[in-house]
Structure 1
Amino acid sequence: MKLIPALVLGLFSGYASAAGFQLIEQNASGMGNAYAGSAAVAENASTIYYNPAGMTYLPGRNFSAGVSAIGVSFKFKDAGTTNPTALGGGAATGGNGGDAGGWGFLPNGYLSWQLNDRWFAGIGFGAPFGLKTDYDKDWKGRYHSTLFDIKTYNINPSIAWKANEVVSLGFGVNWQRIDATFDKAAVVGLGAGGGAPYTTARVSNELNSDAWGWNAGAIFQISPSTRVGASYRSKIKHKADGDQTFGSPFNAALNGSAKATVELPDTFILSAQQQLSDRWELLGDVSWTGWSSIQSLVITGSTTGSSEMLTKFRDTWRVALGANYKYNDAWKLKFGVAYDQSPVDSAKYRTASLPDNNRTWLSLGAQYKLSKDSVLDVGYSHLFVKDSNVANDEDTAARGLLAGTYEASADLVGIQYSLSF
């Protein structure tokens, strides 16, 4: 699993779209519905991620693959950012950092097959978490962050059991890798000895880890027109290690190893799918994410000791509502809206690495049957993100005060091909 081809991994460039740095875009077929009904809809093999029990609704063998393009904008407007007090304090020099967002691409792939009348198996590949904020190197908040880049790669073998015509159950294991880069300007003592007088150096932390988790789900076919699904994905605890390097040759003696521990949150989804008529279908979704597992990020360098970035994340809720309209035997139109709560709820603990806030989704999509056994899905979502105030004075000696406002938004485009054979 660690030898996933570098070409495939290179496609992943994570920009957070769901709140926090969760990437809900593990298919394109649900994007048009703002991912409403994700744990109940089982129209292709991507159900392996959202609810493995959905494989019992996929006879024979099923393949699904796609890619989502995520464009995020984070624009900072200064309102009193200061230099570190160790460097004398005062108003920070530099610009506002440019647009810290950008475009990223998330591929996904799934395969399921029916073993017999009751048992099904499958495997999925995706990226459930990701984030990238990239600022101009000499911006005002450079002592807080210049680059924060998290990528995850997740392989998810799964099984499902059809207990009867009403109840289906599913279970999966997850092997997950995380690659993280965190760059910023740092206040250090001259040479390796430390202490005043102070100078500035660029510090880069590159860490990685792999760990295991699990997921499970159930689907209840309450009536021929009503289906309810529930699914859960466990926390995954990563103990990452790697290198810490300083850009200044005067501080080469500080170069060494680094380590950090992070517990990525668990999630629970409750979904419903209701067939209203031959043409109209209604979808609903309520999901919970246990972001409170991340209260801080502590990076410990072998030569520099520990540095902590407080996050004080809270648990969050996401609510989505969607509808499908069957225009004819070939075309289906999709609509969706969602409200997504951010784990960041305080200007004091909002960071330059994750200037996140609550967001509203508006989504459209279409599905076209290429043939009896193949389907093409496309989707588009625009995310309206609430303006975010920041007043982070967690460590004024080493970082200074980061004060200002972020304007943010996001656009998502997805395409997916599904085949039954």
Structure 2
Amino acid sequence: MPQRKPSFLLVGIVFSLYQHHSQAAGFALFEQGASGLGNAYAGASAIAEDASTIFFNPAGMTYLEGRQILGALHLIKTTGDFDNQNTSIVGTEGGNFGSLAAIPNFYYKQDINEQLKIGIGVGTPFGLKTEYDKGWLGRFQAIKSELKTVNINPSLAWKLNDQWSFGFGLSAMWAQAELTSAVNLVTAESSVVNKGKDWGFGYNLGAIYQVTPDTRLGLAFRSKVAQHLKGDVRSPFTGLNSFPGRTLNTDITADLTLPETLSLSSFSRLDEHWELLTDVTWTRWSQFKELTIARDNGSNTVVGSTQEHWNNTLRYSVGVNYRYTDSLKLRSGMAYDEEAIDNNHRTGRIPGNDRIWLSLGASWQYSPQTTFDVGYAHLFIKEASIYDDQRTPTPGKGLIDGKYDGSADILSMQFTHQF
């Protein structure tokens, strides 16, 4: 496997320390700044109150003066349990496949002049981890599923006039995936481990329209990022000339397209104390039709293929801010987040469903230059049904027939300094 370029080595090491969990539809992550969590990320493309706008809408940099540095950390605790409905299948229910994770963000912004602003953001826009007990009944479909990403996002913003601002950014995204499952060797069981990584590239665009001095609208688009993952598979058998009991490595490839998103947000200052925020975000998950892993030896022989057939999704959110004092702002928000997976295509790897966010937060301006933010959200995840017997080589072996129940808690902290 090729070595990473030294200029990206430190970033890759830092982000690889953290386990990633999907908290939005599919395996997207909204946790790109702590200030927005208290509003369930309502108004994220329009509020433009700190440098995290580089991710949500780069045009928002025109509303920030001087240089600003921002660091955020998100602690995510997920819980998930499977309730087996078919007692004839041998194996456990997998235990709690959730865990505790930490996800960081970093942003820097500065002025070129009064009209032009530049910035850079580093974050994790996609991530996933589920891991079951090795003896669980669905082990032939999935044991461990993990996706890590690091996105480096340099951006430029231009203020046309008092009403219009525009932004543009480039994305260099590193992705790494690992998928493991059990295999039946007739007289025994073993496991298959698929690993791969790649760099992919995309862009993001944004515009903000100042409707009145107290109201603005934001529109933001992030392009898809095509990943051509390359790695290897460790398997007890990899072809006709192999035999059980021997572990062999084979180079593999897998194409993964991380979807585009389109967000429309509003921000309104109702009076000297109250602010209202809204957002609708569309994600094009429908292009994720299948996940196919093939040998990287010129033959393109398929090692494994999973039919996905995901659906496009919408996420709706609304938030309210209350300025308690000049230095303290209180936040609240809620969101309804559609899942991309329907009951007919749900798998043990990503057993998610629609979810409701309830969020609270606060912003404390410690000094004219320094602000601290904290946010908390609880996610109620709708019970999900599953019947999956199509992804195992032995019919009836490892049948997943039952229901999933889960929830998530997110605690975010942020430091912002103006200089």
Q: TM-score, normalised by structure 1?
A: 0.92
- Shift of residue 8 of structure 1? 1.2
Does the alignment pair 1:312 with 2:301?
A: no
Give the AA of the match of 1:121.
Answer: I
Question: Does the 8 A contact of 1:154 with 1:174 survive in 2?
Answer: yes
Give the AA of the match of 1:271.
Answer: S
Question: Does the 8 A contact of 2:141 with 2:392 survive in 1?
Answer: no
Question: Does the 8 A contact of 1:74 with 1:355 survive in 2?
Answer: no
Q: 1:284 aligns with which of 278, 289, 295?
A: 278
Structure 2, unmatched stretches of 5+, are 1-6, 238-242
- Inter-partner Cα distance in structure 2 for 1:104 and 1:301: 32
- Inter-partner Cα distance in structure 1 for 2:235 and 2:409: 35
Spell out, residue by residue over 1:375-421, the C-alpha distance to the aligned partner (whole angstroms, 9 max, x if none): 00000000000000001122454464211100010000000011111
- Shift of residue 256 of structure 1? 1.1
Does the alignment pair 1:201 with 2:190?
A: yes
- Inter-partner Cα distance in structure 2 for 1:49 and 1:198: 52
How do 1:206-285 and structure 2 match up within 5 A? 206-246=195-235, 250-252=244-246, 254-285=248-279
User: Paired residues, what number?
Assistant: 403
Structure 1, unmatched stretches of 5+, are 82-90, 189-196
What is the match of residue 371 of structure 2?
A: 375
Question: Does the 8 A contact of 1:324 with 1:335 survive in 2?
Answer: yes
What is the match of residue 165 of structure 1?
A: 162
- Inter-partner Cα distance in structure 2 for 1:387 and 1:141: 18
Between stretches 216-225 and 238-247, larger displacement belongs to 238-247
- Inter-partner Cα distance in structure 1 for 2:9 and 2:21: 24
Question: Does the 8 A contact of 2:141 with 2:391 survive in 1?
Answer: no
- Inter-partner Cα distance in structure 1 for 2:73 and 2:234: 34
Give the AA of the match of 1:370.
Answer: Y
What is the match of residue 108 of structure 2?
A: 111
- Shift of residue 255 of structure 1? 2.3
SS of residue in 1 equivalent to 2:8: coil
Spell out, residue by residue over 1:73-118, the C-alpha distance to the aligned partner (whole angstroms, 9 max, x if none): 110011127xxxxxxxxx3322111001111111000000010011
- Shift of residue 254 of structure 1? 3.9
What is the match of residue 25 of structure 2?
A: 19
Question: Does the 8 A contact of 2:289 with 2:310 survive in 1?
Answer: yes
Give the AA of the match of 1:63.
Answer: I
Does the alignment pair 1:342 with 2:339?
A: yes
Spell out, residue by residue over 1:153-210, the C-alpha distance to the aligned partner (whole angstroms, 9 max, x if none): 000000000000100000000000101110110235xxxxxxxx67532110111011
What is the match of residue 404 of structure 1?
A: 402
- Inter-partner Cα distance in structure 2 for 1:199 and 1:314: 38
Q: CA, structure 1 residues 397+156, in 2 after alignment: closer, same or farther (shift >3 Å)? A: same
What is the match of residue 191 of structure 1?
A: none
Question: Does the 8 A contact of 1:34 with 1:361 survive in 2?
Answer: yes
- Inter-partner Cα distance in structure 2 for 1:67 and 1:396: 39
Give the AA of the match of 1:21.
Answer: F
- Inter-partner Cα distance in structure 2 for 1:54 and 1:302: 43
Question: Does the 8 A contact of 2:234 with 2:247 survive in 1?
Answer: no
What is the match of residue 240 of structure 2?
A: none
SS of residue in 1 equivalent to 2:100: strand
- Inter-partner Cα distance in structure 1 for 2:406 and 2:247: 39
Give the AA of the match of 2:256.
Answer: V
Question: Does the 8 A contact of 1:11 with 1:107 survive in 2?
Answer: no
Spell out, residue by residue over 1:44-91, the C-alpha distance to the aligned partner (whole angstroms, 9 max, x if none): 11100000000001111011111001111110011127xxxxxxxxx3
- Work out the percentage of aligned pairs sharing the same amino acid: 41
Q: TM-score, normalised by structure 2?
A: 0.93
- Inter-partner Cα distance in structure 2 for 1:302 and 1:143: 24
Q: CA RMSD in A?
A: 1.7
- Inter-partner Cα distance in structure 1 for 2:86 and 2:248: 32
SS of residue in 1 equivalent to 2:14: helix
- Shift of residue 6 of structure 1? 5.1
